[in-house]
Structure 1
Amino acid sequence: MWFRTSPMEASQTMTNNSLIVERSVPVPVLPEEETPGGSLFLSKLDQATNFFASIVYSFDRSDPNMVDVMKQTLSKVLVHYYPLAGRLAKTSQWKLTVDCNKLGVPFLEASANCNIEDLGDMRLLDPSFLEKLVYRSFTESTLEVAPLLTAQVTKFRCGGFTLGIVINHCMVDGYSMKNFMNSWAEIARGRPSSFVPCHDRTILKSRVPPQITSTSDCSIHMSDVSNLMALYEDEQIAWKSFHFDREKLETLKKMATSDGQKSNSSSFIALAALVWRARSMALNMKPHQLSKLLLSVNFRSKLKPPIPRYFGNAIVQACCLCTAGELIDEPFSSTVGRIKKAIERVDEDYVWSWIYYLQTYQFNFFSLSSLLLTSWQRFDYDSVDFGWGKLRTLGTGDLPRTTCAFMPDGSERKGIVVVMGLPLSAMNTFEKLLQFSTREPETPSMRSRARL
């Protein structure tokens, strides 16, 4: 078989009620040194992502001083990343800003009644496990008092530990989160931070009036002609992870040329094409149903001048849009070509037009016929070493239902784990479609295989 699957309900060996985590009262951690106060401007990209995300970093080893080291070095790294210790506020024009006056990051020490291996595949955590490994403040619903970042360190009987992070997405994208974690890990190992973040978010401030010079299909309204809402409401949502090793990814890339058309595809694009097609088919979308694929693109290097040290959200969505009938019946290489062209369209004009779109229009990123694909492959796992060894796994259980995550897999991180949630009947079809579609070079249509 081309891949392994791990259903969420079977990914942990413990039952939901058997994991017991005892944790301390939250203690606010402040920057160790004096930091700038005042307010921090938030761009339209930041304000569009005002929601909380949970991430769990797991490690195989620690020592008796681990909690003290984590707490003390958090205080040190917050000197460089001081806005994370602040709180959201609103201007007189009701726009969000960050109050940087040192309110602190809640930090908790916790202990679990099991070995870390007992939790199974921690890339895909059961929600009842996740809520025990991260601290979500009860004040999250109150804008001005909700912490922007919380950290919980949980010790396991085997000596391993997890670092559970809850962060407001308005503060970071994946690149910014990676740099924050790498800086924290460097300081914990006794080294200076190698990354000096830039906190001037006015770099991405919208011009007045907005100047939209590049069009995007993201703003196109998509009616639910396939009645997907009823399917999602009537059935349980099943989450599974699908594991593709390096060899199988290489073969998948070759499939993009098996129909006679050239396509120098990356593993990411080839797998994105496969997942988008299979999901549209599994949801039994009508041929005239619009199906959209959104792919997160880091644009720091695409601006003039580039903004490599920018700390904040510098991500836009490349967009592919067509009918489900077109998507399913076209050659696999054509789908790959669609995705490549969409990513290549992301230039400086596209970025500024995206920001102006956010200022002018409301996007529905999470319509059920859309798939938002996010990649965690470039999170630089091996640099997240606090002094007791490299990262074991990075995981979550906190993804929106129309989001698919690509995570690195294998000892060298060369494979990809696809984390996906679908209504149960659609998930069963999705898994079969992946099996049929990857056993041999793809034929022009997936529709006939779906009937098998």
Structure 2
Amino acid sequence: MAFQEETLNLQMKYFVLVKPSNSTPSCILSLSTIDNRDIYNNLCQTVHVYRSSPIHDSDSSFDIFHVLKEALSKALCYYYPLAGKLVESADDGKRRVHCNPNAENYGVPFLEATANCTLSSLHYLDNNDLEIAKYLVFDPQDKSYPLVFKVTKFLCGGFTIGMGVLHAVCDGFGASQFLKSIVELSRGRTEPSVIPVWERERLVGSITKQPFPKSPMNNVAFSPFLNETSSTVIKKYCFKVEGEMIRRLKMSLRKENENLGFTTFEALAGFVWRSRARALKLNNNGETMLSVLVGMRRNLKDFEPLPKGYYGNSCVDANLVLKVSELNERPLYEIVKLIKETKNVGSTSEYVKNSIDTWETNGKESLKMKSGGAVTVLTEWRHLGFLNENVEFGGNEVVNVVPAPCNLFASVDMSIFTSSNKFDDENDPSMKGGVNLFTSLPVDAMPRFKEEIESLRFLS
């Protein structure tokens, strides 16, 4: 098979199924209430970019395909549910993982590809436009595989690992934990440093008579770019928010309110939410919602902590609703203060328990709202560890990680904050302390959003 897209030409083999290297249990595993949310029934695709190593440039025996498949096979002995299949029960509509080592389709689809170019010719995927990343991941016809891999080797000796994880089975922390275990086993460890824990029953809710309202918004705002008759193309972009830009943003917020304490995430969340509303031209009398994903891996009072090694979904939504006119007209420090208060409420054990009980109660009737741009969902990947030294294969250094534009959460709503990549750290001093912002926008709305981000340079 061959593919031509600008400078990228790929030769691919037919995928193989990588199975655990030792025997694994035959079983059916239940998921948590959070795992069973419809928004998580999709493949989260990431591309991990590895620069060529001088060590391996002169070593023709180094075969990344063989090394990765062998390590993956060992890791699946511990993470065997990732080699199973996700199945929806006809009885209760809930999803479960079927692990049957004797089944022909048991294992992880693994696709090998070779490219006709160097990674430098693709700028190591360090671009504003992410379209090319979708050709470096594998999207199989069978959507029930919890895990898929596509590994592409380039002429320079570098390679990319396209990893797709079904969000219903594994969250971002879990994906990072799993990738680290593959690297450790490839280096000769006999077992991962963190042993995975399933225990999804810990986050199963109870039926409640007082669930949260199904729709936080009564009068949903709309964008002219996203109405039913609009033919606007939606694309994913990466915007670099330099460290100096963040410093200026924080200084301006403190100038407005000296007593306001906030994090980089909270400051950027308010600014990005408002900037997206302006770029999308949301109608002023409509409502817009910011949804922040709040993790529960930290110890919450009166909430049993999750065990180390847990790799299921462990976040709840903390939602803030405002009229678009309020978002545009109120001082930004007030918006940031509201975001901080919303996060604090979302971090309480009572809110976490009520959220899980609400999802369990509503089941398939849980919120399925086509926001038309009215919702901004923010999540942070800066602390997942995808760019750490502990995920490097031998002398091959991981220099960039990008979310592939393959329907993450299947909407225009999602925005992601990640750490600056290795090129920013090496070549661009302005990105020290900076953030890479990945967001989806209609093409026609992108210029205005870019103007909003650039305005951070001129804050006094």
Q: TM-score range by the shorter chain?
A: 0.7 to 0.9
SS at match of 1:341: helix
Question: Partners in 1 of 2:369 and 2:183 — Cα distance?
Answer: 34
Q: Does 1:117 align with 2:120?
A: yes
The equivalent residue for 1:129 is: 132
Structure 1 unaligned runs (5+)? 1-13, 141-145, 442-452
The equivalent residue for 2:374 is: 369
Question: Partners in 1 of 2:202 and 2:340 — Cα distance?
Answer: 28
The equivalent residue for 2:96 is: 97
The equivalent residue for 2:315 is: 315
The equivalent residue for 1:204 is: 203
- Judge which range, 234-243 or 94-103, deviates more: 234-243
Asked if the contact 1:219/1:363 (under 8 Å) is kept, the reply is: no
The equivalent residue for 1:289 is: 286
Q: CA deviation at 1:218?
A: 6.1
Asked if the contact 1:46/1:313 (under 8 Å) is kept, the reply is: yes
Question: Partners in 1 of 2:447 and 2:437 — Cα distance?
Answer: 15
Matched AA of 2:65: V
Q: Does 1:435 align with 2:459?
A: no
The equivalent residue for 1:444 is: none
Matched AA of 2:397: K
Matched AA of 1:364: K
SS at match of 2:416: strand
The equivalent residue for 2:274 is: 277
Could you tell me the TM-score, scaled by structure 1's length? 0.86
Question: Partners in 2 of 1:119 and 1:370 — Cα distance?
Answer: 32
Q: Does 1:397 align with 2:397?
A: no
The equivalent residue for 1:74 is: 72
SS at match of 1:264: coil
Query: Sequence identity of aligned pairs in percent?
Result: 28
Matched AA of 1:107: F
Q: Does 1:421 align with 2:428?
A: no
Q: CA deviation at 1:227?
A: 5.1
SS at match of 1:162: strand
Q: Does 1:19 align with 2:17?
A: no
Question: Partners in 2 of 1:77 and 1:394 — Cα distance?
Answer: 21
Asked if the contact 2:130/2:237 (under 8 Å) is kept, the reply is: no
Q: CA deviation at 1:247?
A: 2.9
Question: Partners in 1 of 2:223 and 2:87 — Cα distance?
Answer: 41
Q: CA deviation at 1:379?
A: 1.8
Q: How does 1:303-342 map to 2 (within 5 A)?
A: 303=300, 304-309=303-308, 310-342=310-342
Structure 2 unaligned runs (5+)? 57-61, 426-431
Question: Partners in 2 of 1:437 and 1:189 — Cα distance?
Answer: 44
Question: Partners in 2 of 1:77 and 1:123 — Cα distance?
Answer: 30
Question: Partners in 1 of 2:145 and 2:236 — Cα distance?
Answer: 29
The equivalent residue for 2:46 is: 55
Asked if the contact 1:58/1:163 (under 8 Å) is kept, the reply is: yes
- Judge which range, 429-438 or 90-99, deviates more: 429-438
SS at match of 2:125: coil
Q: CA deviation at 1:187?
A: 1.3
Question: Partners in 1 of 2:299 and 2:202 — Cα distance?
Answer: 14
Question: Partners in 2 of 1:71 and 1:439 — Cα distance?
Answer: 50
Q: How does 1:89-238 map to 2 (within 5 A)?
A: 89-91=87-89, 92-102=91-101, 103-120=106-123, 122=125, 129-140=132-143, 146-191=144-189, 192-207=191-206, 209-210=207-208, 212=210, 215=212, 219-224=216-221, 229-230=226-227, 233-238=230-235
The equivalent residue for 2:345 is: 345
Asked if the contact 2:34/2:204 (under 8 Å) is kept, the reply is: no
The equivalent residue for 1:29 is: 18
Q: CA deviation at 1:66?
A: 2.0
In the alignment of these two chains, the number of paired residues is 421
Question: Partners in 2 of 1:280 and 1:133 — Cα distance?
Answer: 32
Alignment root-mean-square deviation, CA: 2.4
Q: Does 1:408 align with 2:419?
A: yes
Offset from partner CA, 1:17-48 (integer Å, 9 cap, x none): 43111112211111112222211111221121
